[in-house]
Amino acid sequence: MNRAELERLDREQLILRAEAAGVVRSRVLTRPELVDELLLRSTADYATKQRARGLFGIARDLIARVVEQGLHLPDAAERIRALGTPTSARPTAPAAMPTVTLAEIYAAQGHRARAVETLEGVLAQEPEHLAAAALLRRLRDSRFPVPPPRMAPEEEARPVQAAEPDSDVKGPTPSEPSHMLDDAPLPPRYDVDECVAIPVDPVTLYVYWEVRARTLDYVRGDHPGGPGGPGGPGGPGGAIVLRVVVIVPTWNGPQSSVRDHEVHSTVGDFFVRDLPAGCVVRAAIGYRDGTVFVALAHSPALETPPDAPSPLLSDTLVRWTPTGTVRISGVDPDAQAIERALGRVRRTAAQERRAAAAAAQAAGSPLGSSERWPAVSAP
């Protein structure tokens, strides 16, 4: 039977057909749910099934698929497919279709009034729905236990009525909630001592900081500059300095350098430029008096991104698992595909190295020697 023929049947006929087809909780489902479930079982062709099920059934299948594949909860997904559990509507979407399952969800969450309203909607469409009427009688009884709600239910969308041309309402109807039009600006400071560094590109670091006035006064009081006096926030003998420590890894060991930038401000930001690509960097905001530097806040150690792909290739392949890394063996089902991909990478790297070595040798550079460019054997 097609959808039109099923919709002409009364509720009891639909229930009998659904029970014969193996639909779970047939007497609890509403007429649209019963029709969807019968259509689902009437054809084995996927495309025909999707066209026959309608929007309600397709939406239920999508929810079940997300729960099963995205959340890895196959049991919950099967219950959604079997029971027809709908999702709550977004604040900007129309109200959800009233079903007994939805009313049970509201009651389990402690929203008695919303559950009663949902059941009344079911009975308004299907007065002969005995399960909805029975649950409604229990919920209207104040002695029926309902857990306290943990959060307020979502508001149903209300259609906005347009003002009549001859009404007294003046001015355009607002298209945004009022709370979105009068957000307060961000505060100029948060009364914290902090220094945050963010790599922008291989050679640039963005740093912003804030230093509390009482922290700076305490540090200045321990140094000859003393509090107050001319010379700006740092005092007559000192200054507020952004110190950047740069460490460059080399074959001869790490090489470090220190860069100081006088910023003369307790709140601000700064772009540190011309850094070595792939270096390790750490920034600190502090007070410098002569050769003495007192850090007030610092960032964690960061690594700037490299400016080119690494010339080194791994020779051991491992697969990550929740219990740790496992070396890929010949019995791994993906071993051959991984080896083919790795072979292409190695061949490309070998070709690029030979081309660079040839170009360097033609230009008379020592980079063309075999000591700097070892041969790579591609599988």
pLDDT digits (tens, 9 = 90+) for 130-156: 888 999 988 888 888 888 776 666 665
The predicted-structure confidence for 3-27, as pLDDT tens digits, reads as follows: 888 888 888 888 888 888 888 888 8
What gap in Å lies between CA 298 and CA 33, rounded to an integer?
Answer: 60
Helix H, strand E, coil C: the string for 64-95 is HHHHHHHCCCHHHHHHHHHHCCCCCCCCCCCC
pLDDT at 220: 84
- Give the tens place of pLDDT for each residue, 85-130: 344 444 444 456 788 888 888 888 888 888 899 999 999 989 999 8
Residue 84 pLDDT: 44
Predicted local confidence at residue 297, as pLDDT: 94
H or E element in which residue 206 lies: strand 204-210
Most confident of 65-69, 165-169, 237-241: 237-241
| pLDDT of 282 above 90 | yes
Highest-confidence range of 13-22, 37-46, 304-313, by mean pLDDT?
13-22
Q: Which of 43-57, 158-172, 244-258 has the largest mean confidence?
A: 244-258
Q: Within 13 Å of residue 76, how many CA atoms lie on the same side as its CB? A: 11
Length of the chain: 379
pLDDT of residue 228: 41
Query: What is the spatial distance between Cα 220 and Cα 240, in angstroms, rounded to a whole number?
Result: 10
Closest by CA to 34, choosing from 16, 48, 50, 51, is 16
The confidence score (pLDDT) of residue 34 equals: 85
Planar angle of CA 64, 66, 70, nearest 5 degrees:
135
- Does 83 have pLDDT greater than 60? no
Count other Cβ atoms within 10 Å, centred on residue 100: 25
How far apart, in Å, are the Cα atoms of 121 and each of 96, 100, 135, 277?
11, 10, 13, 65
Confidence at residue 367, expressed as pLDDT on a 0 to 100 scale? 46
* Residue 242 neighbours by CB under 8 Å, 6+ apart: 207, 209, 260, 261, 262, 263, 270, 272, 283, 284, 285
